[in-house]
Amino acid sequence: MAVEEEGLRVFQSVKIKIGEAKNIPPYPGPNRMRDCYCTVNLDQEEVFRTKIVEKSLCPFYGEDFYCEIPRSFRHLSFYVFDREVFRRGSSIGKVAVKKEDLQKYHGKDTWFQLQPVSADSEVQGKVHLELRLSEVITDSGVINHKLATRVLECQGLPIVNGQCDPYAAVSLLGPSRSEAKKTKVKRKTNNPQFEEVFYFEVTRPLSYTKRQFDVEEEDVDKLALRVDLWNASNLKFGDEFLGGVRVPLRVLGQAGVHDAWYFLQPRENGGKSVKVEELGSLRLNIVYTEDHVFPSEHYTPLRDLLLHSANVEPVSASTANILGEVCREKQEAAIPLVRLFLHYGKIVPFISAIAHAEVNRTQDPNTIFRGNSLTSKCIDETMKLAGMHYLQVTLKPIIDEICTEHKSCEIDPVKLKESENLETNRENLRHYVDRIFNVITTSGVRCPTVMCDIFFSLRESAATRFQVDQDVRYTAVSSFIFLRFFAPAILSPNLFHLRPHHPDPATSRTLTLISKTIQTLGSLAKSKSVSFSAQSAFSLWTSFEFQCKQFKSNTFLDLISTSGKWDQKSIETPIMLKEGFMIKRAQGRNRFGLKNFKKRWFRLTNHEFTYHRTKGEGALCSIPIENILAVERLEEESFKMKNMFQVIQPERALYIQANNCVEARDWIDILTKVSQCNRKRLSVYHPSAYLNGHWLCCKLSADAAPGCTPCTGSLPANIQLDVDGDRETERIYSLFSTYMTKLIKMQEACGSKSVYDGPEQEEYSTFVIDDPQETYKTLKQIVSAVQTLEQQHTKYKRDKFKKTKIGSQEHPIGDKSFQCYIRQQSESSTYSI
């Protein structure tokens, strides 16, 4: 979800690898081990949870998490919990990284010390204050000065134990004063509107000049205003601290007025004194990305260069190939390139061109496409994007079964446990491999068209290059479909959305054995040196059975590498797209029934959207996809609940609350995409609910009244290929900008190779340059396009800095920005004088 900023769209995303924790403090009871899990939080909102690692003080998670961040945030936090009795979790420690510090750890494996978790430090949100210093003449003629403090509102307060009933406590702090006053409690809201004013007497000498109050410096430094936010609790433990702010009165300046937003801060010295090293540490790899995307016309020069890549001769001189040459990792270049070419329907000619060039450079047919080249990485990424639902329908049922049954398949005598039987394990492995191999080799009709077209191109290039080797037309395709698609998905099902978490060690070992055996079967076992996995594969079947599998494999490879034979495949079997618990409001199908909120298990397939009392039970309600007319967010004020959205049907709307903002966005996106082609989709909708006989948004009384707000922009119907072309071009620009020194060095290499026709200089040997003149020409165009975009970004940053007003709702004053605010106000006063 993008944030609009004056014609520019800002996207935030984060990719996290949660590695492991170590030195977790032991449990105080007789069983000193802990059952630990880790959560990822945007501020205090949980957006992801790992599996529970039982009985360990050094739990290994090995889980990856990626999400688009749909809102502003201050901290990316990680909490380590111990599952205690009654399945409840108690926090052990946390890691909180400020948004502005995320770039320090970008892409690096980093050990973070766990910090103590206390109610005093768990704060979020902001408060709007207005301070005014005024003079009051008493009956006796003495001039006193009063500070009027107006607490206007708060936004984004944390929800404590499912509720937020906030109030503010305001006090004036100084050497001898501590006056506390409280606002009224605002029930059931974390965005309270207070609009209350408090007066404090400030009795000290002041000089009065030109109707302005010039407060003496030494007195101002001694006074400050303290505003604390509390959650009014009915529990015996008392009210919970939500955050506070301390405002020195010197912010009043000569004008005697101060109006600003503040970030709430933790309470000073509120936490317990715990030695940090006693809580252990957590290994994380964080990649936070913020894309600033300009209007499409700004990207035309660079985008045209990229999309023309397939037509450049030689292809090594193309813009896309040069990106792969200068990037440190080919994967960096492959991800945005594939998404861009898929978006514009040019992925097949591009991959065909770079694959043909790679095949022509390959000397041994046994090593074809075995390296981590740009070709291999681009095909991998294409299969991930275009083939995700193909994997779901092909592998997910059997993978779920393997992870649930926990049957041992260990056939290495060295690793065999005493209670296990080698023959039984061998039969278990054979059974699983047979089933998986059969579902793969009978799934050719469902292979996505774009993958078939690419495989056809690989097959033709390989067969033309190595005409003597009759098997190369199969190995060229099997090296991708088996070795880089199905086998990795079996090995790590969580990375391909086949399972929610990384499997336990025993199941992981089973999946490893199955994956290796499938690789062997798929690669035709041509290698003369037979590995352990190959020996295992041969030992599971007779020679005749193995030949039958080779025949089935070849038939499957023939089918998926025949271009134009199959149209876009329609999958009749329902595909599970997303499922999970959410809270729904009764739809009012019974006119006199209570419209209360209940927790239900929701399930979305390409056929219907259903909810159930719990997972595995029959559906309580089924909504056919063709009956979904729109999916939109529901304004928070409708039910005083966050993260709500509505699924609009012909007769009524289903109101649903997701568990967090990321999950709400994911559900809205996938429901919108799967229903995008419905002929009766709405163009307008009601952003608020129909309550008490009228729509809260437009106040119309008819429940069938047409909507008052345009529906959000249309999305492509293809779920996998929902790509923003301008955003991908912006990412490619960022890569070129990062590796600009390599672009310059590559230009030097072209000049050196053109002038000096001899042994290649060592510093330029890493670049593949087939045509120096054509490559230099492309490089010159790339540098020009990148520099033009660089100027646009510089201008945007400069203009944004000039317009940034510290203390505004968009840029509240924080612990590090107070001095900037004072300086900004000082400069503003100087300018006005």
Lowest-confidence pick of 9-23, 160-174, 570-584, 783-797: 570-584
Lowest-confidence pick of 356-365, 495-504, 613-622, 715-724: 715-724
Cα–Cα distance, 393 to 575 (Å, whole number): 6
Q: How many C-alpha atoms does 687 have within 13 Å on its Cβ side? A: 10
Under 8 Å between Cβ of 603 and 667: no
pLDDT of residue 569: 36
Cα–Cα distance, 167 to 151 (Å, whole number): 10
| C-alpha distance from residue 46 to each of 78, 85, 322, 659 (Å) | 9, 22, 41, 8
Domain boundary at 653, 678, 710, which?
710
Same domain, 79 and 163: no
- The domain spanning residue 444 has which CATH number? 1.10.506.10
Cα–Cα distance, 780 to 777 (Å, whole number): 5
Three-state DSSP class for residue 194: strand
Three-state DSSP class for residue 346: coil
DSSP letter for 789, please: H
Express as a percent the part of the chain with pLDDT over 70: 83
pLDDT in tens, 77-101: 999 999 865 555 688 999 999 998 9
Going 579 to 584 to 586 to 589, the CA torsion angle's sign is negative
Residue 354 lies in a domain: no
Strands 45-49 and 89-98: what pairing? Answer: unpaired
pLDDT of residue 85: 57
Q: Is the pLDDT score of 105 beyond 80?
A: yes
Same domain, 102 and 130: no
Q: Name every residue whose Cβ is closer than 8 Å to that of residue 505 and which is 6 or more positions away in sequence.
A: none
Residue 625 lies in a domain: yes
The number of domains in the chain is 5
Same domain, 409 and 552: yes
Residue range 304-333: average pLDDT?
Answer: 94
Residue 591 lies in a domain: yes
Mean pLDDT of all residues belonging to the chain:
83
pLDDT-derived band at 568 (thresholds 50, 70, 90) equals very low
Same domain, 555 and 582: no
Cα–Cα distance, 489 to 556 (Å, whole number): 18
Residue 321 lies in a domain: no
Residue 269 lies in a domain: no
Lookup: tokens for 558? 């023939």
Cα–Cα distance, 396 to 439 (Å, whole number): 11
Lowest-confidence pick of 255-259, 377-381, 394-398: 255-259
pLDDT of residue 269: 57
Long-range interactions of 307-315: CB distance < 8 A, separation 24+: 307/340, 307/341, 307/344, 307/346, 309/350, 309/353, 310/346, 310/349, 310/350, 310/352, 310/353, 312/774, 312/778, 313/771, 313/774, 314/357, 314/770, 314/771, 314/774, 315/353, 315/354, 315/356, 315/357
Residue 256 lies in a domain: yes
Same domain, 467 and 554: yes
Q: Is the pLDDT score of 128 beyond 70?
A: yes
- The domain spanning residue 37 has which CATH number? 2.60.40.150
Same domain, 518 and 580: no
Residue 739 lies in a domain: yes
Q: Name every residue whose Cβ is closer than 8 Å to that of residue 563 and which is 6 or more positions away in sequence.
A: 452, 453, 456, 457
Cα–Cα distance, 556 to 442 (Å, whole number): 7
DSSP letter for 503, please: P
DSSP letter for 15, please: E
Dump strand ranges (E) for 542-625.
Answer: 576-585, 597-605, 608-612, 619-624
pLDDT in tens, 450-471: 999 999 999 999 999 998 888 8
Under 8 Å between Cβ of 117 and 276: no
pLDDT of residue 5: 65
Backbone angles phi, psi at 491, to 5 degrees: -65, -45
Q: Is the pLDDT score of 763 beyond 60?
A: no
pLDDT-derived band at 565 (thresholds 50, 70, 90) equals very low
Same domain, 615 and 552: no
Same domain, 410 and 550: yes
- The domain spanning residue 698 has which CATH number? 2.30.29.30
Domain boundary at 710, 741, 773, which?
710
Lookup: tokens for 167? 């109030």
pLDDT of residue 718: 42
Express as a percent the part of the chain with pLDDT over 90: 45
Give the closest residue to 704 by CA, choosing from 687, 681, 679, 686.
686
Residue 198 lies in a domain: yes
Under 8 Å between Cβ of 386 and 489: no
The b-or-e profile of 697-713 (16+ CB within 10 A means b, else e) is beeeeeeeeebeeebee
Same domain, 637 and 766: no
DSSP letter for 184, please: P
Cα–Cα distance, 113 to 764 (Å, whole number): 42
Q: Residue 322: in which H helix or E strand, if any?
A: helix 319-326
Same domain, 542 and 430: yes
pLDDT in tens, 215-273: 444 465 578 899 999 998 876 667 888 999 999 888 887 778 899 999 998 887 544 45
Same domain, 478 and 438: yes
Same domain, 617 and 553: no
Going 263 to 264 to 265 to 268, the CA torsion angle's sign is positive
Parent domain of 50: 3-115+279-289
Cα–Cα distance, 147 to 256 (Å, whole number): 9
